[in-house]
Structure 1
Amino acid sequence: AQKNPWHTPVTIIITVIGVIAIVALVTVAVLQNKPLLQKYKYGIVLDAGSSHTALYLYEWPAEKDNNTGRVEQIHSCKVKGKGISSYASEPWKAGESLTLCMQEAERWVPSKRHRETPLYLGATAGMRLLNMENSSASDKVFQAVEGALQRFPFSYEGARILSGQEEGAFGWVTVNYLDDRLKQGLETTGALDLGGASTQISFVSDSYDGSESPSNSVTFRLYGNDYNLYTHSFLCYGKDQVLRMVLAQQTQSGPTSILDPCFHPGYNVTKFYSELYDSPCVSDRKPPGAPEAFAHRGDGNFQQCQEVVRTVFNFSSCRYRQCSFNGVFQPHLQGSFGAFSAYYFVMNFLNLTDTSIPLQAVKEKLLQYCATSWDQIVQQHPGVKEKYLAEYCFSGTYILTLLTEGYNFTSENYSNIKFIKKIKGSDAGWTLGYMLNLTNMIPAEAPDSPLLPHAGYVSVVTIMAVVLFVLLILSLRPLWPRCSKQPQIV
């Protein structure tokens, strides 16, 4: 009998080594590219607004190059009490107020990540106004806040006042980042932000290149695309400060009583002149010789309320091609808009977030709501603080007037506005955009993507291994005939 060549030691060794090499190649390819257990990095931003402070905690994958992994909000905490600017006379309370929310953040962030987690505080229009009015009081508030924040184990990166332009621009970045519009280079969404002391409008318009009113222009290069953003912040046009301006308008003669069309019929509360005029937005208009207080009574008339609200806007002077109000340039509105913060909270309370409803129907609903008696409103909303409850008629009227007459939204494009609180689980607002900017987490150029995803890579290696195996078999072809032929008897 002829010896089978497949059984020779050399052939067996070559075959075994070949098979082991192929199995090893596939195993290494799979294990090398297998997604590891995800590790995360964290960032904390405190939004110190005029009426309150909120803490936002963000998380993103630690393994991504240059921190380009998607950032998501995992927790938020509303600080109890008022905004830090209200503690001007007792600044230590401003720092103390942040303690509970900071302790929450300490529990949420894994302790091994504490030291590397950046902590930012940005203050907006409330502190802008305090800084204008009393810069030393503003400095003392910041000292107290810094002292409180530095006691925590995070990487404290500072507390500062954001400019109105920054607030508007970072709000726009947040909205478009969360919607994945920047990474994909899609048409962007405009941002409408309303706070207690200021309001911002930011959008990209084909008709605006920044040459007309350059102070309203902000340029970004994000993911390889250039954006020329129009943005403007109106200080004193947040809902709380506009209410002061509207009340100042109605108390110019120093009356002891006013009948306010923006408050419900039957509403009657004593208000003090010293408190009403205690803001740079109205302080120069306090009537001389005014009494100590006035009776603030409601009349509940939407149309008259809108007339009073219109008095805080100046529509007559404009030295540009076109303006919004107060002589401020604004290009043609373009695209869709996300309206957040107080826009959302007020319109959601009034059940008016659906912008597919015709504008006229929105006005009629407001008219009915404002005309409802104060007693009935209180009965319908037992859990809401009366101070806030009393102001929804005014705030709704102001929002509608600001959007349609201030920013020039019409019955045709009003439906382009979307009232939003969150996008994919993260709050809309300037905080995320601010952190993305300071940590350079949005690259100027589009990151290079791998030639193949993980699954494709494994598939290619597997095919190559199969091809190698076939070639190994074929390389042993000279041995085949002798293997297959039976020994012949002559």
Structure 2
Amino acid sequence: MSEQRADMKEKNPWYKSWTVVIVGSALIAIIALVVVTVVQNMPLQQKYKYGVVLDAGSSHTTVFVYAWPAEKDNDTGRAEQKHSCTVKGPGISSYAAMPWKAGQVLRECMLEVEKNIPKKRHAQTPVYLGATAGMRLLNMRNSSASEEVFRAVSETLQTFPFSYQGARLLSGQEEGAFGWVTVNYLDDRLKQGLKTTGALDLGGASTQISFVSKTFDGTESPGNSVTFRLYGNDYNLYTHSFLCYGKDQALRMALAHQTQSGPPRIKDPCFHPGYAEMKDYSTLYDSPCVSDRKPQGAPASFHHSGLGNFQQCQDVVRTLFNFSQCKYSHCSFNGVYQPTVEGLFGAFSAYYYTMNFFNLTTTSFPLDTVKETIARFCATPWQEVKQQNPGTKLKYLVGYCFAGTYLITLLTDAYNFTSESYSNITFIHKIKGSDAGWTLGYMLNLTNMIPAESPAAPPLPYAGYVAIVTIIVVLLVVLLVLIVRGFGLSCSKRPRVV
């Protein structure tokens, strides 16, 4: 029996000590590789960098906090909105008479920002303030007052433990272009080289339209052209900003049109039946958008009442646009060149808030349905409107009839959207958790987070690389074992010399 076992050991290579060592070592190596791979690819606690942008608009200021992975080379990680805070009170341009207050009102939101950014990141976090159409109008009316407001907000922001990068007045073209960048960046269209989405922005004092057109190369109207090279792709963007055509200033212009003769009372089709209020001529005409139209010899105030007629309101709104002059192949209004709208569009800011009030943002409603909805609302008596919307502040509620009518007229009559192309507009508030608007695009530009060329990357992701290496090593070990076993068997079959 013992001789049989000895003979089996001699014939079977698994009984040879050196074979056992090799196989055992291979198994240990395989286990080690698996353990290393698992540990290496375990999810780690993400480290972030932060950036803060203050959107100083005409009607209010909003503070946005953005974050992106700190481990990415050249800060090319995806930036996302982590926090936002709306500053109480009107926009900073409203504090021209007391500029110190423009800075003070920012403190509450900036204290929130401190809490939402880890303390160890404070000193490296850039803070930018961008002012738009409200401050552009103030700068036109009183440049020294504009400078005082900027000085006040800068003094306040410098008291916080961040890297303050200054406050500046954005041009309308920048506002439109950065809004386009934001929408397409958040939708991952830029990095993947997909067909881009146009951007429609409507604020209180200005409105912007920006899109890429196959027929626009910048030669016909160079002033409306912005060229970007992003992630290795070239974009020739058409963009234009219309100052005074935000919804609040447009309302002033509509009232100015109806009060050109200085009447003591007007019946306004853009306000509800039963609405009535006394308004001051001096307050109405204190904006550069209408100041040169103030009627001479007008009384101190006028009685403003509503008729609630959508069609007549559209007629009033159309008087705000000049369609008679165009020296180009195509124009929107006021002699401004615009190629024919094409592709998909994202409409945000006041576009979204207005259409959301009418419950017209959840799907693509036909243009006729939209007009009918707004017309019914305008015709509803003011007392009934207040009863139906108890949670809406009256200062906003009273303006929705005009805002809805103006928005539709701007899109169809001015920007030339048809019943068919209107269906390509999506009214958006957020994209993947971040607000649509110019602020993210502005920060991405200032921090150079979107490279002109696509970042270099290895052919395989790291996890894929580790998995392939592991599989190859396992195969090699198996082959080695098979070779050793085959060698042992061949040796056992050799005739023994006695």
2:171 pairs with 1:163: yes
- Structure 2 residue aligned with 1:96: 104
CA distance in 1, matches of 2:392, 2:18: 88
Taking the aligned partners of 1:427 and 1:239, their CA distance within structure 2 comes to 20
- Counterpart of 1:375 in structure 2 is 383
Per the alignment, residue 146 of structure 1 pairs with 154
The whole-number CA distance in structure 1 between the counterparts of 2:487 and 2:181 is 69
Matched, 1:386 2:407: no
The 5 A counterparts of 1:39-118 are 39-118=47-126
Matches of 2:377 and 2:343, distance apart in 1: 31
Question: How much does 1:113 deviate?
Answer: 1.0
1:31/1:354 CA distance change after superposition, 3 Å: closer
Between the aligned partners of 1:311 and 1:261, the Cα distance in structure 2 is: 14
Q: Deviations over 1:373-401 (max 9, x none)?
A: 11111111122221211111011110011
| Partners of 1:29 and 1:244 in 2: CA distance | 66
Residue identity opposite 1:440 in structure 2? N
Whether contact under 8 Å (2:252, 2:290) holds in the other structure is yes
Does the CA-based 8 Å contact 1:338-1:418 persist in structure 2? yes
Over 3 Å counting, the alpha-carbon distance change for 1:362 and 1:6 in structure 2 is: closer
Find out whether 1:448 has 2:456 as its counterpart. yes
SS at match of 2:308: coil
1:194 paired residue among 199, 202, 207:
202
User: Counterparts of 1:434-473 in structure 2 under 5 Å?
Assistant: 434-473=442-481
Kindly provide the CA deviation profile for residues 236-255 of structure 1, in whole angstroms up to 9, marking residues without a partner as x. Answer: 00000011111111111111
User: 2:88 & 2:21 partners in 1: Cα distance?
Assistant: 75
Whether the 8 Å CA contact 1:193–1:340 is kept in 2: the answer is yes
Aligned counterparts of 2:487 and 2:428: Cα–Cα separation in 1: 74
Q: TM-score under structure 2 normalisation?
A: 0.93
Structure 2 residue aligned with 1:232: 240
Q: Secondary structure at the match of 1:187?
A: coil
Scaled by the length of structure 1, the TM-score of the pair is: 0.95
1:320 aligns with 2:290: no
The alignment yields a C-alpha RMSD, in angstroms, of 2.3
Alignment of 1:279-290 (within 5 A): 279-290=287-298
CA contact (8 A) 1:30 1:458 kept: no
Residue matched to 2:3:
none
Q: Is the aligned partner of 1:295 residue 2:281? A: no
Bigger shift: residues 326-335 or 385-394: 385-394
Post-superposition offset of 1:12: 6.0
In 2, distance between residues paired with 1:384 and 1:9?
Answer: 86
Q: Are the equivalent residues in 1 in contact too, given 2:278–2:301 (CA < 8 A)? A: yes
Q: How does 1:169-188 map to 2 (within 5 A)?
A: 169-188=177-196
Q: Structure 1, residues 290-312: CA drift from partner, whole Å, max 9, x if none?
A: 21111111111111111111111
Secondary structure at the residue paired with 1:476? helix
Counterpart of 1:447 in structure 2: which amino acid?
Answer: P
Stretch deviating more after TM superposition (106-115 or 360-369): 360-369
Deviation, structure 1 residue 450: 2.8
Cα distance between partner residues in 2 of 1:121 and 1:90: 19
Aligned with 1:273 (options 277, 281, 284)? 281
1:223 aligns with 2:231: yes
Instruction: Compute the displacement of 1:472 (Å).
Output: 3.4
Contact kept in structure 1, 2:351 and 2:427, CA below 8 Å: yes
8 A Cα contact 1:6 1:483, kept in partner: no
Q: How many residues align?
A: 490
Q: Which amino acid aligns with 1:117?
A: T
Q: Is the 8 A contact 1:355 1:414 kept in 2?
A: no
How far apart in 1 are the matches of 2:420 and 2:487? 83
- 1:414 corresponds in structure 2 to 422
For the residues of structure 2 that align with 1:362 and 1:17, how far apart are their CA atoms? 74
Q: Which moved more, 1:97-106 or 1:12-21?
A: 12-21
One-letter amino acid of the structure 2 residue matched with residue 77 of structure 1: C
Tell me: CA distance 1:478–1:255, structure 2 relative to 1, closer, same or farther (3 Å): closer
Q: Which moved more, 1:295-304 or 1:65-74?
A: 65-74
Matched-pair contact (CA < 8 Å) for 1:168–1:430: yes
Task: Classify the secondary structure of the residue corresponding to 1:152.
Answer: coil
CA deviation profile, 1:18-54 (whole Å, cap 9, x unmatched): 5545544454455445443211111111100000000
The one-character-per-residue Cα deviations of 1:91-121 (angstroms, maximum 9, x if unpaired) are: 1111111111111111111111111111111
1:355–1:417 Cα contact (<8 Å) kept? no
1:352 aligns with 2:360: yes
SS at match of 2:196: coil
2:316 paired with 1:311: no
* Letter of the structure 1 residue corresponding to residue 209 of structure 2: I
**2:14–2:485 contact (8 Å) kept in structure 1:** no
Offset of 1:474 from its aligned partner?
A: 4.7
For each residue in 1:36-95, what CA deviation from the matched residue of structure 2 results, as whole angstroms up to 9, or x when unmatched? 321111111110000000011111111112222211112111111000000000011111
Question: How far does residue 471 in structure 1 lie from its aligned partner after superposition?
Answer: 4.1
- Distance in 2 (alpha carbons) for counterparts of 1:173 and 1:86: 29
2:348 equivalent to 1:340: yes
CA contact (8 A) 1:26 1:465 kept: no
Deviations 1:171-192 (A, max 9, x none): 0011111111111111111000
- Residues 302 and 371 of structure 1 are in contact (CA less than 8 Å); yes or no, is this contact kept in structure 2? yes
What is the rounded CA distance, in whole Å, between the counterparts of 1:158 and 1:396 in structure 2? 36
- 1:365 alignment counterpart: 373
More divergent stretch after superposition (470-479 vs 7-16): 7-16
Unmatched runs of 5 consecutive residues or more in structure 1: none
Is there any run of 5+ residues in structure 2 with no aligned partner, and where? Answer: 1-5
What residue is the counterpart of 1:135 in the other structure?
143
2:364–2:426 CA contact under 8 A, matched in 1: no
Matched to 1:298, the amino acid is G
Distance 1:127 1:404 in 2: 29
Q: CA deviation at 1:354?
A: 5.4
